[in-house]
Structure 1
Amino acid sequence: MKFELQQVDSASKARAGKITTDHGEILTPIFMPVGTAGTVKGVHISELSDPIKAQIILGNTYHLYLRPGLETLEKAGGLHKFNGWNGPILTDSGGYQVYSLASTGRKIQEEGVKFKSHIDGSLHFFTPESVMDIQRTIGADIIMAFDECTPYPCEYGYAKRSMEMTHRWLDRCITRLNETEPKYGYQQTLFPIVQGSVYKDLRKISAEYIASKGAFGNAIGGLSVGEPAEDMYEMADEVTDILPKDKPRYLMGVGTPANILEGIALGIDMFDCVMPTRNARNGMIFTTQGIINIKNEKWKNDFSLIDPMFADELHGQYSRAYLRHLIRCDELLGAMVASVFNLRFYLWLVKEAREHILQGDFATWKNGAINQFMHRL
C-alpha cells in the first residue's frame, strides 16, 4: 500500500491524496459506506459502484465474528469473495461495539474484553491478539487496532487510564500482526487509533504515541459519541497537527455533511458513518438542494425528482411524492431508494470537496456548501 499526498489547500489543512491498495485506488478525501455485517444495509453490491461511486466500504469485526462466523468467511476466501465487493475494505476492530455493550455487563480488563453476544447472550472474549487474527480471517485491506472507545462525558482519570491501555493493546496488535501473515494473498495494513476523550493534553500524548509507530495510516477514535461538535473539531485539529502529514488520517464514525466538510478542513482524509443509510430508512434525505424530511405533508403532491443533480443516474426517475408514499407505507423499496440517494450524495460531496482542494478554493467553497447542504427544505 502507499499514500500520495497530491495537494494541500492554501487556506486550510484540507488535503487531496491517493491511497493505493491491492484492491484498487482510493481518492481522498473519501467517505466510506458502512457495511457492518458484510452488507451496506438496503443497497446492492453493484449499486455501490454505480451510481453511488463508493471506493471503499467497511465491515465490522464484532458482527462478522458472530455472523456468519470465521469458519464460513475463511471457506469463502475472505469477505471480498463472500459478499462480492472487489474494491478495498476496512474493518473496525469491534472497540466501538464493546463500548456500546456497556449495559450488557461487558467487562474490560488488561488482557481483553469479556462480553455477551447481542444475538443469543453467549459469552465471548476479545483480546488484541484475537482481534488481529479475526481481521486476518475477514481479509480486509485496512484493519483497525483494538482500542477502548471511552464514553462522553468521561472523567479525566478514566480517559487517561483507558488511553494508556489502548496504547498497550496497540503494541500487542503490532506484535501479533508481525507474527502472522495475510491469508488470501494480498496485503493488509494496520491503522492505530488515537484516544483521549476531549482532553487536549491526552489527545496530544496519544497522537504522539501513535505517530511514533510509523503505521501506514492513523485513525482518530472516541469522538462523535455525544460531545459538542466544537469539541470534536478542537480534538481533531490538535491531533492532525501531530500525526504525520504523509500518512492518511481517518476520523471514525463522522458524520453529518457539515462534520465531514469541517473535518476535511482540519486535514482529515477518511470518514465513515451509518447516518446516510440509517436516516434514509427514517425518511431524511440529503440532497444538493438541502435536507428533506420526506414524510412531511408538503411532499405529498410534489412530483419533481428527488434530486435533479442525479436525474440521469439510477433511481433518478423517482419523484419526491412517490418516495414519500414508499417510506410512509414502510415499503422496502423506499428504504432502498433513499439509502442509495443519501450515499450517492455523500460520495458526491467528498468528490466535490476534493475538486475544490485541487482548484485551490476549498475554504471559500466549504462555508457556502455547509449552508446549502444543511438547509432544511
Structure 2
Amino acid sequence: MGSACAVPCVALDAAQTFDSESKRESDKEKKNANKSKAGEEATTSFASPAGERGRETEDGLCRLKIGIVGFGTFGQFLAKRFVSQGHAVLATSRSDKYLPVAEELGVEYFSNVDDFCEEHPEVVVLCTSILSTERVVQKFPFLRLKRNTLLVDVLSVKEFPKKLLLREVPEEFDILCTHPMFGPDSGKGSWEGLPMMFDKVRMDSENKKNEERCHNFLKIFEHEGCRMIPMSCEEHDRQAASTQFITHTVGRMLGDMALESTQINTKGYESLLTLIENTCNDSFELYYGLFMYNQNATETLEAMERSFDRTKKRLFDQLHEVLREQIFGEGQPAHIREQQQSAGRKLNK
C-alpha cells in the first residue's frame, strides 16, 4: 500500500482550520498588495485593484463587502441603499424566491448559507424577524466566516439580541447592535434626519482595522443624513417602550376601528391615517416581537390601559353631572326653582 502524501491545511484569519478558501484569498490579497506597492507607491487613497476590499466608492466612502442574512422587506430595503453607495452586497435567505429581486438590485444571492459564508463578507447584517432571530443565530455557521468579521443586528428591540449574540457568537467576532428607526415606508425617500441608534457591544479596540471597518459601516447611514445616536441597548429598550411600542399600539387600535378618509379631514386626522398606514403595513409578528422581547412593554401597555380608564371615567363623570343638573336643576318646574333660589338668598344674608 503506497504512502499517502500529506497536504497541510492552513487557515489564515478564518475560524475553521479546514477553511482553505481563506488561505487562497489571503494569498491573492498578498499578491495584489505587492503589485500595488510596486506600481502605485504614490497613491495615497484607499483604492485597490477592482473588486478588492478597501476600494473607495464614487462618494469617497470606503467600499465594504456586506452580507445580509434574511432578505425580506427590510433586508431588501437596506441592500438597495448599500448598493446605491457602491458597496458590494451579497445576501442569503431560506429559499430562491428572492433571487429575481436580488438580481434586480445588483445583489449576489445565495440560498445556501454555507456558500454565503465562504464568500467571507467583512460585515454580516442580521435582518431576520425578531421571533426567528434566536433560531437563525443558533444554527448559523459562524465558523465558516473569518474570525474578525463584524456582526451587525438591526432588530427593533436591542437588549435581547445583545445578550443572544454575546452568548452564541464566537468571541473573535465584533458585535454592533443598531436600530435604524425607520423602514421601507418612513424611509422610502430621503433618510435625512432619521434616527439611527447604535451600540458597539463588542469591539477589538486594539485592532485599528476593525475599528475603521465599524466606522465605515456607520458612515453609510451618516452619509445618508441620519441622526446618529450612540446609546446602550438597555436604554434603547426603556425609551422605545414609551415611543415605538406606544406608536404601534395606537396605530393598530385605530386600524382595528377601520377609520377612513373623509371630505372634512383635519390635519390631526390625516396624521392618524398616516400612523395607521405606517404601523399596520408592518406584520403583526413585528408588533408582537416589540411586546414579547422588550421587558418594558408590559408596563407600558398597562399604563396605557389605566390612562384610558381614567379618561373614560372623567368623561362619564362629567356627563353624569350634566344629567343630574337636568334632572334636579333645569328639569324642575319654574315655581319650585324660584322657591329654592329664594331660600338660598335668605340663607346667604
TM-score by length of 1: 0.28
Structure holding more helix per residue: 2
Task: State the TM-score, normalized to the length of structure 2.
Answer: 0.30
**Radius of gyration: which is bigger?**
2
